[in-house]
Amino acid sequence: MMRQYELVERVLRYDPKADESLLNRAYVYAMRAHGNQKRASGDPYFSHPLEVAAILTDLKLDDATIATALLHDVIEDTEATRAEIDQLFGSEIGVLVDGLTKIKRLDLVSKKAEQAENFRKLLVAISTDIRVLLVKLADRLHNMRTLEHVPPASRRRASEETLEIYAPLAGRMGMQAMREELEELAFRWLHPEAYRTVRERLDRLTDNNQGLVGEIRLSLIEKLGEAGFAGDVTGREKKPYSIWRKMENRQISLEQLSDLYGFRVICKSVEDCYRVLGVVHTTWRAVPGRFKDYISTPKQNGYRSIHTTIVGPRHQRVELQLRTQAMHVTAEYGVAAHTLYKDLTERAGTNGKAPSSDAPRDMGPYIWLRRLVETLLEGDNSEEFLEHTKLELFHDQVFCFTPKGRLIALPQGATPIDFAYAVHTDVGNSCVGANINGRQMPLSTALRNGDEVQIITSASRTPPAAWEGIAVTGKARSAIRRAARDTLRRQYAELGRRLIVSAFAKIGVDYTDDKLRRVLSRLTHKTVEDVHAAVGRSELPIGDVLRAIAPGAAPPPAPAAAKPRNRYEQNPAAEEGWFNLSKVMGLKFRWPSSGGTGSGDPEIGGSGRGIVIRGVRNDIPVTFEPGGAVPGDRIVGVLTQGEGIRIFQIHSPRLSEFEHERWIDVTWDVSDEAPERFPARIMVTVLNEPGTLAQIAQVIGEADGNIDNLRMLHRGADFTEMQVEVEVFDLMHLNRIIQGLASKSVVSKVERVFE
């Protein structure tokens, strides 16, 4: 175990102005706090934070980060508190240590939910100070290096988490060396047989190609020397995990991989990088489609380099990377290469203000992280956020441009919808179309590198929920879900308000929002809209609202059991006072009213599509009862708790189970241009003869009906009674099927049934 003075000396070697006293105090405090705690390996627990600190000294980080590494587990695993850390080491280190402390006593239903919530907390802390991430990655790296001492289940879980989250996160932050080691360690434990196989075959291949890397390196140095360049050339074999991933993705064997060797040329300047590229391409044949210029178009994590693949000596394919020394340092260490943290912190002061414009938070990878955290804070489901974070971490990138030349980096497979939300959330929410390279294209089009994308917007547009299945970025999906929730909330609030107005009209009391606002505290809701939405969702009884506003008023009389049906029988729907429920669904509705209170009201949602059926989640859900209702039937809608609006046929015996105040007048508004099938049930009594079922199916099929389900209810010696669930276009279509069945000699009886 490293001694105290050894750690201090390592820091002073690259930072002579480091605070020795801080490092000594942190060392002693952490060692005493962890006391006799042991790791799974049997080593003193303090050896772990000490090794984490040592890893960070290799990255030449500031003294505050090293002290944080020593203290990063004390709040979580010892009796130490955040207040004590603040008092002894300052609030700066206290914030860093707290950001690395997992959330305790989580009341969550699954390990995945706990993982997601802790990752959520970590990312928020990282977005405030990138040093939290550097300590966390070093912490994870040392844990992975000592993974053989933990139980197999924990080993697998840690390896999965490393491959899914921490290795890609290190890559996104530009820390390639850290990423490669994390991937190798996780691969070794997660897929031990695959790791062993790839390693053995690589060793055999290396033996067969003895001296190949050295030969190619010398050949490159010679050719560059002839052209007057003295670049530093290094070569290496690709890592087992990188090779295995390519084999998995391409479904090929290791022998079929053509770029097992990679070489790097460190040039003196950017101009030299392009000159060396010219020398390489005129000396050896370039492989088409394998050239990428990340100098002119850097990756989102700040990575800059030229990549090309050539057919080099021995006819071996070789990948070349051309970069300057500064680019190389950034490529290997990413944000950790910018050892400006202490100076930036001092310039920012201790008042919590952000560092100046040259701080890491304005670098490419940090901008990506900030956007990720913005998406997180807008959502309300941490597991969903974790899923989308993984998607963004794993996607390769495409680079597209706005008409004004602004560069937008997106994951591979991104669509114009993702592009619109990357520009701005308001642009995404109002998007109605897109021009790609001057041509109008579908919003589902996958974007390619170099595309110029112009988003067409409309102020009256809201994003349909179906877009969530098209978008690939977490930001776009989160914004679409949020817009859907807002739309749904507005519709429930409108529905609830109309129900309240109707109820007050029945008892002869005028309702105003001001009256409701004065009694919000009694109803335990913060806003008038909250109350309206709660009533619309059936979470708050209307009676509670009546008693809160007009405690002395008599409740509205309950209708007799037979009255609701007579009301519909005697009062056919008139056009005035009816509103479009859904052109897709083919319904119109009006709210329960007294004295025409519903007449003349605007359409719900403002776009003519207030409520949509079958999975369109940005509207109030509408479902049909199993008994079925088809256009031509007289129908009633019932507002139910948690299920939206349920549609009943007027003769359904189940209608009497619901309070009349929840009934909504409904009628059909079908379109001949977009016919849709609706469910219905029929009971058929048939003779027990061979081929009877085939005849039933033939009649329904020839009439263009669709059998959704069929059940044998009663089977006797001579007759069988079966229930057939069919989908038809309207009542006329259903009657035609019933008549066709009744005309068959094997059919004794056929009739429509309701639940």
Q: Are strands 622-624 and 635-640 parallel, antiparallel or unpaired?
A: unpaired
> Between 249 and 83, where is the model more confident?
83
Q: Which of 172, 189, 206 is the last residue of a domain?
A: 189
Whether residue 324 sits in one domain with residue 202 = yes
Backbone dihedral angles phi then psi of residue 607, each to the nearest 5 degrees = -125, 5
Q: Is residue 747 one of the residues assigned to a domain?
A: yes
Query: Using CA atoms, how far apart are residues 398 and 421, in angstroms rounded to an integer?
Result: 15
Answer yes or no: is 575 within a domain: yes
107-161 residue pLDDT tens: 333 455 666 666 666 766 666 777 888 898 999 999 999 999 889 888 998 998 8
pLDDT: which is higher, 556 or 615: 556
Cβ–Cβ < 8 Å for 431, 443: yes
Q: What is the DSSP letter of 631?
A: B
For residue 740, the enclosing domain spans 678-752
Query: Do 228 and 155 belong to one domain?
Result: no
Residues 37 and 149 grouped into a single domain: yes
CA 397 to CA 384: how far, in whole Å?
22
Max Cα distance, the chain (Å): 102
Consecutive H or E run containing 100: none
How confident is residue 398, by pLDDT bands cut at 50, 70 and 90?
A: confident
> Do residue 623 and residue 712 come from a single domain?
no
Task: Flag whether pLDDT at 592 surpasses 60.
Answer: no
| Domain match, 735 and 687 both | yes
Residues carrying an active site annotation: 76-77
Is 238 in the same domain as 298? yes
Range ranked top by mean pLDDT from 343-347, 398-402, 635-639, 744-748: 744-748
For the chain, how many structural domains are there in total?
4
CA atoms lying within 13 Å on the CB side of residue 272: 17
| CATH (domain of 55) | 1.10.3210.10
Q: Is pLDDT of 710 > 60?
A: yes
Could you give the CA distance from residue 244 to residue 261 in angstroms, rounded to a whole number?
Answer: 14
DSSP helix/strand/coil, 731: helix
Confidence of residue 454 (pLDDT cuts 50, 70, 90): very high
Q: Are residues 591 and 646 in the same domain?
A: yes
Per the domain annotation, does 606 fall within a domain?
yes
> What is the 8-class DSSP label of residue 523?
G
532 inside domain:
yes
Q: What are phi and psi of 577, to 5 degrees?
A: 85, 0
In a domain, 422, yes or no: no
- What is residue 383's predicted lDDT score, i.e. its pLDDT? 54
463 close to 493: Cβ distance less than 8 angstroms: no
Worst-scoring range by mean pLDDT, 327-341, 589-603, 670-684? 589-603
DSSP sequence for 593-628: -SSSTTTTPPPGGGSS-----SS-TTS--EEE-TTB
Does some domain include residue 305? yes
Tell whether 122 and 236 lie within a shared domain: no
* CA–CA gap between residue 244 and residue 258 (Å, rounded): 13
Q: 455 falls in which pLDDT band (50, 70, 90)?
A: very high
Q: Is the domain of 168 the same as that of 20?
A: yes
In this model, does residue 364 exceed pLDDT 80?
A: no
Pair 622, 585: CB distance under 8 Å:
yes
Nearest to 68 by CA among 121, 119, 25: 25
- Residues with Cβ within 8 Å of 98's Cβ and at least 6 positions away in sequence, in order, are 75, 82, 85, 125
Co-location of 122 and 87 in the same domain? yes
Domain harbouring 284, CATH code:
3.30.460.10
Query: In DSSP terms, which residues pair with 640 in a beta bridge?
Result: 644
> Cα–Cα distances in Å, from 533 out to 464, 530, 592?
21, 5, 17
Tokens of 182: 């994390």
- Is position 163 within any domain? yes
DSSP state of 38: B
Residues 63, 64, 66, 69: what is their CA dihedral angle, to the nearest 10 degrees? 170
User: By mean pLDDT, which of 27-41, 262-276, 532-546, 640-654 is the weakest?
Assistant: 640-654
Candidates 496, 490, 484; CA nearest to 539 is 496
- Flag whether 743 is in a domain: yes
Q: Is the separation of the CB atoms in 473 and 410 below 8 Å? A: yes
Looking at the structure, do residues 734 and 644 belong to the same domain, yes or no?
A: no
Confidence class for position 504, pLDDT limits 50, 70, 90:
confident
Q: How large is the average pLDDT for residues 316-326?
A: 88
CA 113 to the chain's CA centroid:
14
CA–CA separation, 309 vs 23, rounded Å?
Answer: 47
Q: Which of 161, 189, 217 is the last residue of a domain?
A: 189
* Dist CA 125 CA 483 (whole Å): 27
163 and 246 assigned to the same domain: no
User: Last residue of some domain: 668, 697, 726?
Assistant: 668
Comparing 726 with 231, which gets the higher pLDDT? 726
pLDDT at 70: 95
Q: CA 746 to CA 723: how far, in whole Å? A: 16
* Number of other residues whose CB lies within 10 A of the CB of residue 409: 18
Cβ neighbours of residue 459 closer than 8 Å, sequence gap 6 or more: 430
Q: Which residue matches tokens 């202490």?
A: 342
What's the CA dihedral at 593, 594, 599, 601 to 10 degrees? -50
